[in-house]
Amino acid sequence: MYKSLVELDLKEEAEVVAFNGSSLINRRLEGMGIRQGKKISRISSQYIRGPVIISVDGHQAAMGRGMATKLIVKPVNTNGL
């Protein structure tokens, strides 16, 4: 099941599937090391507003909530079910 990055549970790992943003947003995401097929996880975020902190390739990065909603991911099943 696909969802946006902001819909992920905290510490849940997911695979990047698509970007639903403009070419500028897509380039910014790629500049942060976020590409299709990469594994990322949401570290923290504010409830309604504010930045979303993610982990990708062992590094943490922050992005705005609007950008995070345009990042489509597929949760990775880590418990073998």
Determine the residue type at 7. E
Prediction pTM value: 0.83
Q: What is the CATH number of the domain that holds 59?
A: 2.30.30.90
pLDDT at residue 80 is higher than 70 = no
Evaluate whether residue 54 is within a structural domain.
yes
> Within 20-73, where are the H helices?
23-31, 65-69
Residue 69's domain comprises: 3-75
Evaluate whether residue 20 is within a structural domain.
yes
Which range, 8-17, 22-31, 41-50, 71-80, is most confident?
A: 8-17
Evaluate whether residue 80 is within a structural domain.
no
Quote the tokens at residue 76: 């990775």
Q: How far apart are the first and last CA of the chain?
A: 14
